[in-house]
Structure 1
Amino acid sequence: MGKMCSRAAAFRNVRPLMSKDYCEARRRAIGLYRAFYRYIPYIIKYFDIAKNEEDCRWKLREYFYRNACITDVRIIDLLVIKGYIELKEVTNQWQQKSHMIRHWCPSIEPKPTDFLGKFIAGID
């Protein structure tokens, strides 16, 4: 017969990824935000995108506010690690212009809803 898992084993303490507590994780997230914020003029220059610094700052702020409600330290650390990877790819120019533009423009074309648009697109 198989051994059943006890409830105490299911809720074990896990090691943090980098931060010991929420304050340290928040400090790391703010450090990532500042690093991206400082690099915005270079992103505009090197990738030659048709956005100004204010648009880029709003987009950066939007990405960070999207995850503002997360309180789990491990998830915050994981997101900060992914953010630093993204920053490394941008600073080393491993990403291309299309990778920068995708943050503003979704690549999915809306399907036509009127009769003439459907007829031209060849949709029933």
Structure 2
Amino acid sequence: MAITPTQFAKKTAQSANWSEAKRRVLSSYREWIRAAPEVQTMYNMPMPVSAIRTRMRQEFERQRFVNKLSVVDVLLFKSHAEYQETMNFWKQTNHIMAYFKEENFRGDKRLPSSFMTGFLEVSAQRSKPLAGLWLT
């Protein structure tokens, strides 16, 4: 797959009014949703496209109640920069999977809450003799 860095380039623009901002936000949202199958394939993600689309929607919904036009413009710029980096394959899988910490099969649950608890758990497991094996 050939990567053309300028393929997704857009000129930065300011919204003149709320209707234009809404149009731009919906356009960005649709762009992300349409790209979900390709993102799944490119980054070899171990989850269905529907889960990826749901997470994309959650990211847009998180900013739903922004009420300053200039902030919406900055968020749109950041969204497009993220989209360009993602679609040009300038990220690694772990960068994409960071958005899916709850669903991540390598989630934070495998890590101990502190160093000392993890150390003590491993030490306790190592001190137990293996069943049926006695070293002489």
Give the TM-score, by structure 2 length. 0.68
Q: Aligned residue for 1:120?
A: 121
Q: Aligned residue for 2:54?
A: 58
**For the residues of structure 1 that align with 2:51 and 2:112, how far apart are their CA atoms?**
24
**For the residues of structure 2 that align with 1:34 and 1:83, how far apart are their CA atoms?**
12
RMSD: 2.3
Pair 1:41-2:31 in alignment: no
The amino acid of 2:49's aligned partner reads: E
- Number of equivalent positions: 104
Deviations 1:7-31 (A, max 9, x none): xxxxxxxxxx610111111111111
**For the residues of structure 2 that align with 1:100 and 1:117, how far apart are their CA atoms?**
27
Which runs of no fewer than 5 residues in structure 2 stay unpaired? 1-12, 124-136
Cα drift, residue 120 of structure 1: 2.8
Runs of 4+ more than 6 Å apart: none
The answer to whether the 8 A contact 1:40-1:57 is kept is yes
**For the residues of structure 2 that align with 1:116 and 1:20, how far apart are their CA atoms?**
55
The amino acid of 1:46's aligned partner reads: M
Distance 1:110 1:25, change over 3 A: farther
2:16 alignment partner, SS class: coil
Pair 1:31-2:27 in alignment: yes
Deviations 1:42-89 (A, max 9, x none): 001110010111101110110011000011110001000000000000
The share of aligned pairs that are identical, in percent, is: 23
Give the TM-score, by structure 1 length. 0.75
Identify which range, 61-70 or 100-109, moves more after superposition.
100-109
The answer to whether the 8 A contact 1:36-1:87 is kept is yes
